[in-house]
Structure 1
Amino acid sequence: MSRGIAGKALLALACTVAAATPALAASHVFLVQNSGWMEPFFGDPASQYKPLVAEVANAAVQPGDALVLAAFNQGLPGAPSPRALLAQKAGDKPVREAVAAALAPLEVARKPNGGAMADTDLGEAVGSAIGQALGGKPGLVWLFTNNRNSPNNDQATAQRNREFYQLIHTGPDIAKAIAFPLHMPVKGARYSANGLMVYVFAVREEGRRELDALLKSGRLQKVITERPARLKPLDQDTVRLVPTRVENVPGVVFATLPDGRLRADVDAQATAKGPAPAARITWRLENAIYPYTIASARIAAQSSIAGAVQPIGLASNDVKALAPGQPQPLASTLQLPVANLPGKWSLAALQSAGSAQVLPGRIDVQLADQRLELSQAFRQRMATLFPGDPLPDIFTPPERIQGSRAVLPVEVRLQHGAGPLLAALGGLFALLAAGAALLVAATRGRKVIVTVEGEQRTVHTKAGARTPLYDRAGNKVAELRTTLFGHALTDLREGAQVRIGK
C-alpha cells in the first residue's frame, strides 16, 4: 500500500477519534480483522468471534477510558484500513452493548471494483493504531486475527511475518506484548479455521503498567482463560524465586508473605552480640516466561538490604532445560548486613521502639548467556490451532536477548524492644526535673542579712538581682549581687564598712 493511501486511512481513523473524544487520546484500540481469510469467522452461525471482542472490551475498558473499535484488512485506494467503527469515552454503562452494536453489521471486506475478498496487513493495522488512534500516547492495542498475514495475497508470508516481528520486538513504542491463542473452530462457505489469536500491545511504560494492572485484576481472565504467552519483554522477570525452606539462625526468623516476598524478623539485641547471621534458604526457581524454555543460562544473585549490597551464595550457578511450569530447586546462603542496620540508640530505633522497624530490600537475580527456546507443547498447540501457518515464528526470541533480570522484594523487620526508649525517656525526665529545679531556684525569692556600718538589715532579693546598699546619709556604699550559688558584694566604696551577715 502506498504512503499516500496509508495516510488517508490513518487520517480517517484519527478524525473519528477526535470527533468522538475531543482532547482525549484513546487508551484502548480494538482492531478486528475482516479480511478474506476471516470468512469462516463471519459466515459460521455458531461463530463466537464478535461476542468475544465485545466481552474482552467490556472486561478491559473501565469508566472514563477512551476506546476505538476498528475493522482492518489491507488498505487500498478507495478502501482505507483500518476503518473506525466506534470511538467513544466509556461511561457507567457496560461497553459490551456498544461494541456488539458496532460489530453487528460488519462483514468480510472486499477489494474495490474487482469484488475479491480483501487481503491482510497486520503491521499496517498495528502501526495505524499506535501512530494515529493513540497519537503516540500510552495505551493498549488489541488485535483479533486468525494469524494470516498476506498483503496483496503475497504467498511470501514468512517475510511479512518478519516485518510484523520487527515491529513488535524492536519497535520503540511497544513496551510489552502478550498473546492468547484460542481454540475457536469455525466453518464458512469457502474456508475453515481452528483457532483465533488475540494480541495485546502495551504502548509505552504507562501502557505497560495499565496492562499489568488489568492482568492482576483478574477481569480479563474471566473472559479468556488461556494462559497469556509473552512476546515482549524477554529480558525482564524471566524467572521467579519462591522460598520453600528456610533454616532460621539465632536472632532471625524468616517467613514467606502471601505475595511471595521474603520477610526476616531480626532481634537487634541478639544479632548485636554475634557475627552477621547467614541463613540457608532453598528456593523454587520458576520459569516465568511462558511459552519459552530456558535451555541454558548462568545465574547469579545478590541482596540489597539497608544500603549494603552482598552476593548470595548459590549451590548451583547453572540453569538448564527449565520449562514453563517446571520449577527447579535452588539452595542459597543469605547473609544479613547487621553492621548496616540502625543501632538501638538511633533515632529510627527509638521511634519504632516496641514495634518493628521495617527496612525494605530486594534480591536481584541475573541470568547471563541465556538461551531461550519455544516450548514443544506450545509449538504443538500452535500447529493445531493454525495448521501450516508460519506466524508462530514471531515467538522466536531475538538473538540479542542473552540476559535477563528478576527482582524479589525482601522485607527486614528490626525488633529493638522498648529498653532503649525507656532509658532515653528516663534520661529526658531527669533532665527536665533538673531544669525545673533550676528554674525554681532562679525565680525563688531570698532573704539576706547584711551589716552596713554596724547596722543589720534584711534585704529581699533573687538570683540574678543586683541590689544597691546605702549608708544612713543615703550614699551608695556597695552593691549586693545574688546568683544561683550565693551572694557577693561588689562596687564597694573605699572605706565603707559593709559585710554579709551579722
Structure 2
Amino acid sequence: MKAWSALFARCVVRCLAAAVLAGAPAWAWAIPQVFLVQNSGWMEPFYSDPQSPFKPLVGALAGSVVQPGDALLLAAFNQSLPGAPSPRALLSFKAGKEPVQDRVTQALRALDTARKPGSAALADTDLGEAVQAAIGQALGGKPGIVWLFTNNRNSPNNDQATAQRNREFYQLIHGGAAITRALAFPLRMPVKGEHYSANGLMVYAFAVGNEGAGALDALLAAGSVKRVITEAPARLKPLDRDTVRLAPRKVENAPGVRFATAANGVLRADVAPDARQPTARIEWNLENTMYPYTISSATLSARSVLGGENRPITLASNRVSALAPGKPAPLGSTMTLPVAQIPDKWSFDALKSAGSAYVLPGTIQLHLANQKLELSQAFRQRMAALFPGDPLPDIFIPPARVQASTAVLPLEVRVHYGMGPLLALGGAALALLAAAGAAAYAYARPKLAHVTVEDELRTMRARPGTTQPIYDKAGQQVARLKTTLFGHQLLDLREGAQVKLGR
C-alpha cells in the first residue's frame, strides 16, 4: 500500500508544481480521480473470458471523465496480505495530450486475477479496505473522485457471509463523513470463465469532499459518464437533500405579476413596481429524483426566502405518497412575494435600474419530513438478475436516520422600472442646474449704480456682494456703496455729507 500511495503522492506534487509554474492557484487545478479495479478470485471470468468487455469499459470511462490537467491513479485491488499489498498502483500520471484511454488500456493489458502469496489459491476481496486506502492514502483526505469496479462480492479471508461484509461496506459509505456523494451503476455484463460465471458488474463513484461532489455532478451534467455508461445511476448518498425536483406547469398570475421558468431552471417572477399584492397560484410537477427509491410517504412544507424575508408557502396538499422515481405528481401552491422588499420607484435602487430590471434573488425551499423510502421493485429485480444470490438490494435500503430532506429551487424577482421617474428627476436636475447657472451669471456680472455726490452725478460699477467707498470732491470718504443681487445700499453716510442714490 505504501508503494502505490507514494507513487500517487509524487504525481500530486508534480501537478501542484505545474499549476504554480503556470501562474494558477493550487486549488484551480482539476480534481484527482482514482480508479480501483478488482482482480480477486471472484473476478476470474471478467479476465479469462476472451469476449469480456471489462477492461475496455475501464479504459473508455477513464478516457471520457479524465480531462487534460487531471491527476489520475489506476490501481488493482483484492485483499492486502503480507507480501501482497493491496491496492497496487498500475499507473499514475497527469493527463495531457496523449489519450487517457490508450494509457489505461495499456496498463490493464497484463492484469490478471491475483493469487495469495505462496499459494495457488485465488485472492480474496476487501471492498472497504480498497476504498479507505484510496481516500486516506491516495487522496490524503483531500477532495477527489474514486471509481470502483467490482462484481459486488465482498469476501475478506474468503468469508462466505457476504451479506454482512456488504453491510459493513455500505456502513462505510453512509456513515463516513469523507464520502459526500455516492452513486452505483449496475451493468449487465455476462462473462464465463474456467471457474465462475457472472451476469453483471457494479461501477461505483464516490465523491470525496464538497469539491469532489461538485466535480462528479459536473461530469454527470456534461454527459461524460453517459457517453460510456448509459444506465441511470442508483443514488446511495446523499438521501437528505435534492431528493425531489419542482417544475412549474401552470401559473395563475395576480395583477402586475408574471412567472416563468428561465433556461437555467430558475423560477423568475416579473413584477410591476406598482403591484400591491404580488401573489400567484402555481401548479407544480413534483418529481422524485432519488432513483432507485420510491418515497412511500412524507409530510410536505414549503417556504420562500427572499430579500431577508422568510415566508410560508401554502400547499394544496401537505402529504405525498407512493412517489416513484421519475414519475411526477401534481402539487398546487400559493405564494406571496414580499412587497416591503420591492424598492419604491423613486428610490436609488429603482432609479439605478431604470430601463432594465432590479433583481431580488431568493429560493423556494420544499421540506420533506417523516420521509419513508422504499427500494423500487424494478431495481430489486434488476439486481437479482445481475447478481443472482446476492442479498445486496436489502443493503441499498437507506439508514433509518435519513427521515427528512430538503429541495431548493432558485427564485428571482425582477422588478421592471420605466424611464419616467429617471427622466423627471433628470429634468428637475437640469432645471436646477440652469437656475444655478443663471444665478452664478447674475452674481458675476457687474451692476451699474448712479450716485449723486454734491450735485455731481457719478456712475459706479460693482459686483454683487462687494462694498466700495465713496469720496467727495475734496477726496474725503463720505459713504460706502454696498451692492447685492437685488440692488444697492449706502452705508456709513457721514453727517452733513451730500450723497444720495440716483439723481
* TM-score, reference length from structure 2: 0.94
Q: Which residue of 2 aligns with 1:399?
A: 400
> How many Å apart are 1:103 and its aligned residue?
0.8
Say if 1:21 and 1:87, in contact at 8 Å, map to a contact too.
Answer: no
Q: Which residue of 2 aligns with 1:6?
A: none
Matches within 5 A, 1:200-239: 200-239=205-244
Q: Which residue of 2 aligns with 1:170?
A: 175
Q: Which residue of 2 aligns with 1:12?
A: 3
> How many Å apart are 1:440 and its aligned residue?
1.0
Say if 2:150 and 2:202, in contact at 8 Å, map to a contact too.
Answer: yes
Q: Which residue of 2 aligns with 1:4?
A: none
Q: Which amino acid aligns with 2:212?
A: G
Q: Which residue of 2 aligns with 1:461?
A: 462
| In 1, Cα distance between equivalents of 2:4 and 2:495 | 109
Q: Which amino acid aligns with 1:249?
A: A
Q: Which residue of 1 aligns with 2:118?
A: 113
- 1:314 and 2:305 aligned: no
- 2:389 match: secondary structure: coil
> How many Å apart are 1:481 and its aligned residue?
2.3
- 1:148 match: secondary structure: coil
Q: Which residue of 2 aligns with 1:472?
A: 473
- 1:79 match: secondary structure: coil
Q: Which residue of 1 aligns with 2:63?
A: 58
2:199 to 188, 194, 199: 194
Q: Which residue of 1 aligns with 2:335?
A: 334
| In 1, Cα distance between equivalents of 2:479 and 2:385 | 116
Farther off after superposition, 250-259 or 38-47: 250-259
Residues 336/20 of structure 1: CA separation in 2 closer, same or farther (3 Å cut): closer
- 2:80 match: secondary structure: coil
> How many Å apart are 1:23 and its aligned residue?
4.9
Encode CA deviations 1:442-492: one digit per residue, 9 max, x unaligned. Answer: 211221112233322211211222222222233333332222233223344
> How many Å apart are 1:285 and its aligned residue?
0.5
List runs of 5+ in structure 1 lacking aligned partners.
1-8
Say if 1:148 and 1:391, in contact at 8 Å, map to a contact too.
Answer: no
- 1:221 match: secondary structure: coil
| In 1, Cα distance between equivalents of 2:38 and 2:170 | 18
| In 1, Cα distance between equivalents of 2:501 and 2:5 | 102
- 1:57 match: secondary structure: helix
Matches within 5 A, 1:250-329: 250-269=255-274, 271-272=275-276, 276-329=277-330
Q: Which residue of 1 aligns with 2:152?
A: 147
Say if 2:271 and 2:278, in contact at 8 Å, map to a contact too.
Answer: no
Farther off after superposition, 252-261 or 236-245: 252-261
| In 2, Cα distance between equivalents of 1:134 and 1:493 | 101
Encode CA deviations 1:338-397: one digit per residue, 9 max, x unaligned. Answer: 232111111121122122222222110001111111111111111111111123344211
Say if 2:11 and 2:71, in contact at 8 Å, map to a contact too.
Answer: no
Count how many residue pairs are aligned between Structure 1 and Structure 2. 489
> How many Å apart are 1:319 and its aligned residue?
0.8
How many percent identity over aligned positions?
64
Matches within 5 A, 1:345-384: 345-384=346-385
Farther off after superposition, 130-139 or 450-459: 450-459
Aligned Cα root-mean-square deviation (Å): 1.6
Q: Which residue of 2 aligns with 1:35?
A: 40
Farther off after superposition, 109-118 or 466-475: 466-475
Q: Which residue of 2 aligns with 1:246?
A: 251
> How many Å apart are 1:416 and its aligned residue?
2.0
Say if 1:446 and 1:461, in contact at 8 Å, map to a contact too.
Answer: yes
> How many Å apart are 1:240 and its aligned residue?
0.7
Say if 1:186 and 1:192, in contact at 8 Å, map to a contact too.
Answer: yes
Residues 262/117 of structure 1: CA separation in 2 closer, same or farther (3 Å cut): same
> How many Å apart are 1:501 and its aligned residue?
2.2
| In 2, Cα distance between equivalents of 1:490 and 1:403 | 89
> How many Å apart are 1:17 and its aligned residue?
1.3
* TM-score, reference length from structure 1: 0.94
> How many Å apart are 1:493 and its aligned residue?
3.9
